[in-house]
Amino acid sequence: MAVKFRGYLGAALAALLLAGCAGAPPPPPRGPVGLPPIAGRSPQDFALEQGLSDFYGAPYRSGGTTPAGVDCSGLIQALYQRAGVNLPRTVAEQFNAGQPVGPGELRFGDVVFFNRYCQTRGRGPYLAGMLPPFYADEICHNGIYLGEGRFVHASPKGVFVSRLDAETWRLSFKGARRYLPGY
């Protein structure tokens, strides 16, 4: 009986291991981002929410500003333009605009900034902490805060939602800015 049980246990373990090798999940579908309820939404909030639905799942394209292909600062610029707010084009310029917001004060629509995807003279993207300290001050990636610790951004994987408390984003967080009036 013990031999038969070990046979079943071995088969079950093999099935679990094989299921873990099933490959990458499919890309996220386009559609609603799943925003938490927002009391007192403004027309600008609704415009941002609609824009997020239109861009969610869009492919990455350097210099892009449309759902056919977009980069991180192009996503921010295009979404805010739909909400009637004109922002500069680059991440650094966007960081220098708006009102600074502390991490504990984030709300839907705030833009969060990182040093995660900085380019350094053709060396490509780097992970926070791998280069000398002066590179850590460069701000080169951003996204829109959704609430509940989540933000949407355009990366080489396309437009999708990530968590601020994930190690990569927590370690590379450089600040946030608010471009919409308070509610």
How large is the average pLDDT for residues 55-82? 97
The pLDDT-based confidence of 68 (bands split at 50, 70, 90) is: very high
What pLDDT sits at residue 39?
A: 62
Spot the catalytic one: 21, 72, 118, 140. Answer: 72
Residue in 79, 86, 88 with CA at minimum distance from that of residue 108: 79
Query: What residue type is 38 in one-letter code?
Result: I
Active site residue 153: yes
The residues that bridge with 154 in the sheet, in sequence order, are: 159
The residues near 3 (Cβ < 8 Å, ≥ 6 apart) are none
**E strands present in 37-149:** 65-66, 69-70, 99-101, 111-114, 141-147
Active site residue 72: yes
> Domain 39-178 is of which CATH architecture?
Alpha-Beta Complex (3.90)
For residues 36 and 148, the answer to whether their CB atoms sit within 8 Å is yes
Is pTM beyond 0.85? Reply is: no
Spot the catalytic one: 21, 118, 140, 153. Answer: 153
Interval 20-67: pLDDT, tens: 333 333 344 444 456 655 566 789 999 999 999 999 999 999 999 999
Active site residue 21: no
The span from the CA of 85 to the CA of 91, in Å, is 16
The span from the CA of 154 to the CA of 134, in Å, is 25
Phi and psi at 49, nearest 5°, equal -60, -45
The span from the CA of 28 to the CA of 97, in Å, is 31
Largest Cα–Cα distance in the chain?
A: 73
Residue in 56, 36, 60, 39 with CA at minimum distance from that of residue 146: 36
The span from the CA of 145 to the CA of 153, in Å, is 9
What pLDDT sits at residue 30?
A: 42
